[in-house]
Amino acid sequence: MWKAVVTAAVAFVLLFCRSSTLDNGLARTPPMGWLAWERFRCNVDCVDDPYNCISEELFMQMADRLAEDGWKELGYNYLNIDDCWMSMDRDEQGNLYANKTRFPNGIKKLADYVHSKGLKLGIYLDFGTHTCGGYPGSIKYLQKDAETIAGWGIDMLKMDGCYANVSDMSWGYPDMEMYMNKTGRPILFSCSWPAYAGGIKVNYTAIADHCNMWRNYGDIQDSWDSVTNIIDWYGNNQDILVPAAGPGNWNDPDMLIVGDYSLSYEESKAQMAMWAILAAPLFMSNDLRSISPEARSILMNKEVIRISQDSLGMQGRRVIKGTNKVETWIRQVQAKDTFAVAFLNRREDGMPYNHTLTLGSLNFTSSMGYEVVDVYDNRRYGHFKLDTKLTVSIDPNGVVFVYAYPSK
């Protein structure tokens, strides 16, 4: 009798307890797409700046570019709205709705359009009382908002954490995930929870139970300083961050700014290579209507994308910080004993730097040695035994990105 009561009680708890685990099956590899924020911000001035303001027109144009210019085929399939899409108030029933001047046809129509192009639509909410831009927050409306976005056909949610207590996030983000699950629509969940909770003082196992990806750190800005500041933070905290990542769950160092105003060609290659090493989500924030051929070729490099999307899903590490200001970052990939290696030049002394090493010094172990190939241009460096010297020439603020696989 007691046994039956206990079994029933356990079954009840299992069935109705609030905590669930993320089972949406999404983001088995780092998600890819385009996100409005870094490049288009909260530009709501469609009178003086109609071409660049946050409006359905902007997202339809970006959807066209993603679908027609070859991005989608490479995996860039999420088109994501960020802040400043909403009306300043909810409707009489408490529902969110888009600003009627800038999104005259509403989000559902936009989602239909995006889906008709074979893409997915992401949207932005904030867990707190307001979004970071001052639009309505979701804290009292989690279930309603989950149902609203699912009803519109949304495929991904970035939930920000402005104007919220960090202590509320440990129930709030899981609740949002539960409400989204209840709608029956798989919605990739990008949480800003760790970024607001200090990035490292958080329980990543709990976060990974509820979020497919999460911002850990500050916003990327359009500068090399910002990119390197983020890279340093991920390197300095890798012992906490790397174990948290894997299929279904990714650390998010924020958007790719390749194609924007600040990065040189070498810096752009470096950001892309580093985001691939970090197993980072690849969300471009740039103007796909006018992107340069150089930026496009970097973002579209199939070998870099192949490393980013490697099915082992293991985030890379900074293994050598380098007294010569050359950092060595390594990501292990699925193929046996095979590694992607980025040599990142943090020097500013104005000429390419010859960096010499042996693969043995990187703790590679294949006794047959390795074949080393440049990831960006497929150039073969050759065959290297563990103690053979390899010299790479790296431009200032640049990267040499290679792939090393065991020789037969």
By CB neighbour count within 10 A (0-12 exposed, 13-18 middle, 19+ buried), where does 266 fall? middle
Among 56, 145, 155, 160, binds ligand GLA (CB under 6 A): 160
Phi, psi of 385 (to 5 degrees): -75, 170
CB of 5 to ligand GLA, least distance (A): 49
x/- track of binding to ligand GLA for residues 23-62 (CB under 6 A): --------------x-------------------------
Residue placing its CB nearer to ligand GLA in the complex, 160 or 371? 160
252 binding ligand GLA? (CB under 6 A): no
Residue placing its CB nearer to ligand GLA in the complex, 260 or 327? 260
Residue placing its CB nearer to ligand GLA in the complex, 77 or 192? 192
Phi, psi of 129 (to 5 degrees): -80, -25
Q: Which helix (H) or strand (E) holds 159?
A: strand 156-160
Residue placing its CB nearer to ligand GLA in the complex, 89 or 219? 219
3-class DSSP assignment, residue 123: strand
102: left (phi over 0), alpha (psi -120 to 50) or beta: alpha
Within residues 116-145, the interface with ligand GLA by CB under 6 A covers 131-133
Q: Which helix (H) or strand (E) holds 12?
A: helix 2-16
For the chain, helix (H) and strand (E) counts, in that order, are 14, 16
Among 82, 145, 155, 327, binds ligand GLA (CB under 6 A): 82
By CB neighbour count within 10 A (0-12 exposed, 13-18 middle, 19+ buried), where does 3 fall? exposed
> Following DSSP, what letter does each residue of 160-207 receive, concatenated?
E-TTS-HHHHHHHHHHHHHHHHHHT---EEEE-HHHHTTSSSS-HHHH
78 binding ligand GLA? (CB under 6 A): no
CB of 132 to ligand GLA, least distance (A): 3
Binding-site residue total for ligand GLA (CB under 6 A)?
Answer: 9
User: Which tokens sit at 170?
Assistant: 């440990």
Residue placing its CB nearer to ligand GLA in the complex, 68 or 219? 219
CB of 250 to ligand GLA, least distance (A): 16
CB of 35 to ligand GLA, least distance (A): 8
Within residues 188-217, the interface with ligand GLA by CB under 6 A covers 192
CB of 32 to ligand GLA, least distance (A): 17
User: Which tokens sit at 299?
Assistant: 């973002």
Residue placing its CB nearer to ligand GLA in the complex, 20 or 221? 221
**Residue 160 annotated in active site:** yes
219 binding ligand GLA? (CB under 6 A): yes
By CB neighbour count within 10 A (0-12 exposed, 13-18 middle, 19+ buried), where does 69 fall? middle
**Residue 219 annotated in active site:** yes
CB of 354 to ligand GLA, least distance (A): 39
**Does residue 249 contact residue 212 with C-beta atoms inside 8 Å?**
yes
Which member of 160, 175, 310, 395 is catalytic?
Answer: 160
* Catalytic center residues: 160, 219
Residues contributing to the site for ligand GLA (CB under 6 A): 37, 82-83, 131-133, 160, 192, 219
